Structure 1
């Protein structure tokens, strides 16, 4: 969790900070203040510094170290000559992770690629399967690009990723406030979503769109081990029942 300055006119800046393990440089972590700064009235803050006093000055960043760091090692964040901003660090969290395999390649189809349409095609393949063989979609490790909502309907579908450090959906970096995520209705009763991350591009709190899981008239849904940042909220339900959300991290909304 960190803070770096905003751009003079708002909109954020990009920077890096170097990561060392036991005194040896490992890699740099990318930072941005695009999502950190809001100004003005508490009920409706904006991105312009001219709107008033700052209301929100922090964000979080993450990086895969790429190796197991033994217990007792010293991890240090260090400003070197390549790190050109000023930095405030609140805390760091460390965890050991490993990818989750496809639960059953015979019953979980895999998208042909990492685009939005590739994933929607896989969801549709499960929906249209008349043999009863396919029960879900497995999302292998990778960075998935998305700019709209996936549609889940017709039957219960299990959507499973390789883990939130590995299977990651990203809203377009060149846009703001893009309504990405999943939409499900009554015929998707019994569906589940697990083991992936959703990184949005919401730079302000607005009413309306911006929910990762935007559901209506559906029941018996499980949302498990989802990592969500920079959206309006993780889940929004209208006339929904028996919704389970567990083991998830909802940060920097």
Structure 2
């Protein structure tokens, strides 16, 4: 079943500049979709359109077969089903304590008592219950990211829209985010992620390269097989991919482990 259907979607800023033109895109239930492209390509705007934070200038977006309209912006059922993780966690952290921030959505969805308990459950599940009574501004960058994730997942969404979730994080916290996405995949949730992180792209079922319009749609392996497209998307070509292209090996690995297996196979021929 299609969760999203975007049909000839365009968006123009109040300045008159077009952020996106003629976007046609489907998102299947349970898939992980990566959206990549250079800065200023309209990727964040695309996520905001899918979250009904802004409305398209032209075209139509369907969610579960129904058009997204102005009314969707305040539709409680839509807000429960779809969670948006902003690139900057400070946008999501505005209360006196982390617990209050994480409980903000659940309290409005359920009762205050149930909402607070749901927030505590999610902090424990993510292993960050020690942050509950901390002021958000006292947190490190990684702690803020984890707290903002809890704000989203406490609502138990079926669809997660993630804007550069690993940006500016150290290795440990990037691994935390990657593990979260793997767990969501395992739970059958639908994940749409804007990213420049190659490891995250490898987790995706499909990838769109966007620069105001769609330049490419396919699998991560198909993307990595086209170095010129990777560069147009403002991504670093992985060294292992560059090596295989230089050696003239057509089979492109998505990991070092795959590269080893491919090379072993070639040596045994």
- TM-score strictly above 0.5: no
**Structure having the larger proportion of residues in helix:** 2
Q: TM-score, normalised by structure 2?
A: 0.27
**TM-score scaled by length of structure 1:** 0.29
